[in-house]
């Protein structure tokens, strides 16, 4: 079982990107979430928000076109799409906290079956970095989490109660790992899809909370 590799970072990004619907405004966190921009299904008009005041962020420019005044919140070079709007930080978070984000894709250390998640601070470190995560998670219509199914030592990251410091309560919609897509519902975690080569039992074994396994669990199109 431990030989199976699961999805690559790019494949996770592609899977979560498939969730984004036409016309949505979306904020992407660092890491795998940022990769999702490369996998938007054809024909969907997705608008990207960056917390430093950009509504309508476009892809990375050619090296010679990089401008230090056009960077994402993750400090990567970007472009502006036609019809982009630029605002200051307070108004940028009016967009985020005020509920205008159809979805936010964020990383996490842990997700609880209540929809609570943790992503800003390790329990054993003095400090962490919140950045925009608390405002974005509390405001977004949907919070999609990309993370690994377990820690490096095999400890499940889907849990009953967080042991890492809370970022935001009851906000996670779905979790996308290298092994599975798991919805967070009123009933708790529900397995929706497994990665090729994995069975529902593999995911149950790597989840430290009840996991509802419906009859029709699909396979991630990788």
Selected range binding other proteins among 89-97, 145-153, 178-186, 197-205, rule: CB under 8 A: 89-97
Cα separation of 160 and 213, whole Å? 17
- Provide, rounded to whole angstroms, the least separation between the CB of residue 214 and other proteins: 31
Selected range binding other proteins among 4-12, 81-89, 103-111, 187-195, rule: CB under 8 A: 81-89
| Subset of residues 131 to 160 that bind other proteins, contact rule: CB under 8 A | 131-136, 138-139
CA R_g for the chain:
17
Q: Please say which residue, 120 or 198, places its beta carbon nearer to other proteins.
A: 120
Question: Judged by CB under 8 A, does residue 124 bind other proteins?
Answer: no
Question: Judged by CB under 8 A, does residue 115 bind other proteins?
Answer: no
With tokens 């056009």, the residue in question is 70
Among 1, 8, 9, 99, binds other proteins (CB under 8 A): 99
How many residues are there in the chain?
A: 222
Considering 3, 21, 51, 193, which one is annotated as catalytic?
Answer: 51
CB of 22 closer than 8 Å to CB of 43: yes
CB of 122 closer than 8 Å to CB of 128: yes
Q: Please say which residue, 20 or 180, places its beta carbon nearer to other proteins.
A: 20
The H or E element containing residue 139 is helix 133-139
DSSP codes of every residue in 23-42: T-EEEE-SSHHHHGGGGPPT
| Subset of residues 56 to 75 that bind other proteins, contact rule: CB under 8 A | 56-59, 61, 63-64, 66-71, 73, 75
The H or E element containing residue 137 is helix 133-139
| Subset of residues 31 to 50 that bind other proteins, contact rule: CB under 8 A | 40, 42-47, 49-50
42: annotated active-site residue: no
Among 34, 150, 168, 207, binds other proteins (CB under 8 A): 168
**Tokens (6 digits) for 112:** 């609880």
Strand partners, 104: 27, 143
Q: Using CB under 8 A, count the residues that bind other proteins.
A: 74
SS3 81: strand
- Provide, rounded to whole angstroms, the least separation between the CB of residue 161 and other proteins: 13
Phi, psi of 48 (to 5 degrees): -105, 135
* Residues catalogued as catalytic: 51
């Amino acid at each position: 079982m431990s030989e199976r590799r699961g999805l690559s970072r790019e494949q996770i990004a592609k899977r979560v990107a498939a969730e984004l619907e036409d016309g949505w405004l979306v904020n992407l966190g660092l890491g795998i979430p940022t990769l999702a921009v490369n996998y938007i299904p054809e024909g969907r008009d997705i608008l990207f928000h960056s917390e430093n005041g950009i509504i309508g962020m476009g892809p990375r420019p050619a090296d010679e076109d990089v401008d230090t005044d056009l960077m994402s919140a993750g400090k990567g070079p970007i472009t502006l799409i036609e019809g982009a709007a630029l605002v200051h930080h307070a108004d940028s978070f009016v967009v985020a906290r005020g509920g205008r984000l159809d979805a936010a894709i964020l990383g996490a250390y842990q997700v609880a079956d209540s929809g609570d998640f943790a992503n800003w601070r390790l329990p054993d470190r003095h400090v962490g970095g919140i950045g925009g995560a608390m405002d974005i998670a509390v405001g977004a219509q949907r919070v999609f989490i990309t993370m690994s199914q377990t820690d490096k030592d095999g400890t499940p990251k889907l849990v009953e109660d967080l042991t890492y410091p809370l970022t935001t309560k009851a906000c996670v919609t779905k979790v996308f790992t290298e092994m599975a897509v798991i919805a967070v519902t009123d009933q708790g975690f529900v397995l929706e899809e497994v990665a090729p080569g994995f069975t529902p039992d593999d995911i149950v074994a790597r989840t430290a909370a009840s996991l509802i396994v419906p009859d029709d669990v699909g396979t991630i199109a990788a």
